[in-house]
């Protein structure tokens, strides 16, 4: 709820420039960048469930402090700390999903996980937009309460402390003995996996404009309200809730390369088309296009990582995978806000299209590591 409105809070409530707001968002990316590989290694050692619980509770405790701070440097420091605890959740959650299902079910499982996330996202930003029109203090407080509540719910579920759940149909039971650990350099020596990570970065740079330059473009340039921006998230998430699981089920037999390339291209087209959008309906149409790209890229990319990772290194592979998201979030919002201020919206969205096409070309060459 809070992160999509952070740039608007900084620029409209605190009077921070768009460029400095981009620095704060980049600080979030720095915190996430640092924590991703550490979270992955920690999940391999203590179990992903414990990492997820601590992440949710600490993130909920940090976020209500935002309205109490006015100093820019303190805001940057708080943002880094918030990101470090909040983003530790992601590699651990991806690792635990990989344990819980058979390889053939992974793409659908990751799509189902995103459906659960987006059930919240269909409501969160819309409610957040309404709260923001009344009080940003209330927005941050509600975000903190819901995060802590999620941590409590997870702590009281039936998942085993080791992070393994009762296997579903077709899933193999986890071995009681730990698997022999592969060399620590194994992840960085996997050239096929590293090429995939490089291919992910351009499309992620484009995608994260939805949390930085896109809200500024809509509210400042097109003069839409914060609540209208929140409703665009509802368009995005309702589509995901209704379509993503059956869409990925229909693409279950597609190669990773085909799914990832098409998804990257749709993302490029969707954000690029924003250059020609002048009202809410037109922007909503572009959101529909890049949402279909998102529904293809994210489950397929997580499934690719799950297939590529050795069983004893799932957390580390997921951590490096999540690190590409963090790196893109560190750089993308900052570059996007600078381009919007200095070059204008039309040039920004044209660049977004070109950058997305780079990922499209690279994804066609993605291959799993040789068996």
Q: Give tens-digit pLDDT for 163-192.
A: 344 444 443 333 333 344 444 456 777 888
> Which residues, 6+ apart, have CB-to-CB distance to 116 below 8 Å?
none
The answer to which of 125-134, 268-277, 280-289 has the lowest mean pLDDT is: 125-134
Asked if residue 91 has pLDDT above 90, the reply is: no
3-state secondary structure 111-174: HHHHHHHHHHHCCHHHHHHHHHHHCHHHHHHHHHHHHHHHHHHHHCCCCCCCCCCCCCCCCCCC
Positions of E strands within the chain: none
Output the pLDDT for position 167: 42
Give yes or no for residue 142 having a pLDDT over 60. Answer: yes
Report the run of H or E that residue 15 belongs to, with start and end: none
pLDDT at residue number 158? 63
Instruction: Specify the DSSP element, H or E, that contains 108.
Output: helix 106-121
Each residue of 202-257: pLDDT tens digit? Answer: 999 999 998 788 988 888 888 888 778 878 877 888 888 889 889 988 888 888 89
Per-residue model confidence (pLDDT) at position 51: 92
**What percent of the chain stands above pLDDT 70?**
91
pTM above 0.85, yes or no: no
Query: Residue 368: pLDDT above 90?
Result: no
Shortest CA distance to 23 belongs to which of 80, 96, 67?
80
Degrees, nearest 5: CA angle 357-360-366: 150
Q: How far is CA 182 from the centre of its chain?
A: 28
Residue tagged 């819901």 (tokens): 146
pLDDT in the model for residue 369: 59
> Could you give the residue ranges of the DSSP H alpha helices within 47-105?
48-62, 72-86, 89-100
In order of their start, the domains of the chain are 3-158+189-363 (1.20.1250.20)
CB-based contact 53:354 (threshold 8 Å): no
Q: How far is CA 229 from the centre of its chain?
A: 18
């Amino acid at each position: 709820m809070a992160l999509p409105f952070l740039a608007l809070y900084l620029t409209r409530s605190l009077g921070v420039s768009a460029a400095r707001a981009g620095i704060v968002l980049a600080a979030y990316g720095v915190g996430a960048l640092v924590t991703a590989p550490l979270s992955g290694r920690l999940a391999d050692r203590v179990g992903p469930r414990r990492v997820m619980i601590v992440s949710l509770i600490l993130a909920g405790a940090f976020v209500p402090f935002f309205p109490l701070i006015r100093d820019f440097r303190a805001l940057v420091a708080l943002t880094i700390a918030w990101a470090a605890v909040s983003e530790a959740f992601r590699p651990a959650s991806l690792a635990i999903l990989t344990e819980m299902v058979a390889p053939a079910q992974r793409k659908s499982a990751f799509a189902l996980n995103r459906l659960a996330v987006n059930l919240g996202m269909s409501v969160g930003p819309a409610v957040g937009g309404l709260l923001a029109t009344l009080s940003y203090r209330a927005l941050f407080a509600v975000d903190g309460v819901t995060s802590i509540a999620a941590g409590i719910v997870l702590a009281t579920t039936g998942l085993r402390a080791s992070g393994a759940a009762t296997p579903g149909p077709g899933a193999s039971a986890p071995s009681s003995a730990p698997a022999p650990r592969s060399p620590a350099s194994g992840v960085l020596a996997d050239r096929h996996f590293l090429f995939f990570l490089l291919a992910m970065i351009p499309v992620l740079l484009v995608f994260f404009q939805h949390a930085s330059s896109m809200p500024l473009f809509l509210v400042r340039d097109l003069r839409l309200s914060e609540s209208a921006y929140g409703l665009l998230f509802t368009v995005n998430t309702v589509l995901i809730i209704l379509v993503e699981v059956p869409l990925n089920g229909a693409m279950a037999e597609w190669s990773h390369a085909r799914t990832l390339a098409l998804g990257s291209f749709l993302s490029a087209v969707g954000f690029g088309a924003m250059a020609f959008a002048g009202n809410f309906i037109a922007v909503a149409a572009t959101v529909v296009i890049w949402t279909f790209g998102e529904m293809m890229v994210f489950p397929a990319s997580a499934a690719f990582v799950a297939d590529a990772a050795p069983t004893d290194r799932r957390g580390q592979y997921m951590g490096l995978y999540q690190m590409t998201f963090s790196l893109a979030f560190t750089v993308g919002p900052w570059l996007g806000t600078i381009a919007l201020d200095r070059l204008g919206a039309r040039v920004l969205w044209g660049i977004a299209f070109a950058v997305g096409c780079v990922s499209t070309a690279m994804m066609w060459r993605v291959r799993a590591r040789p068996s």
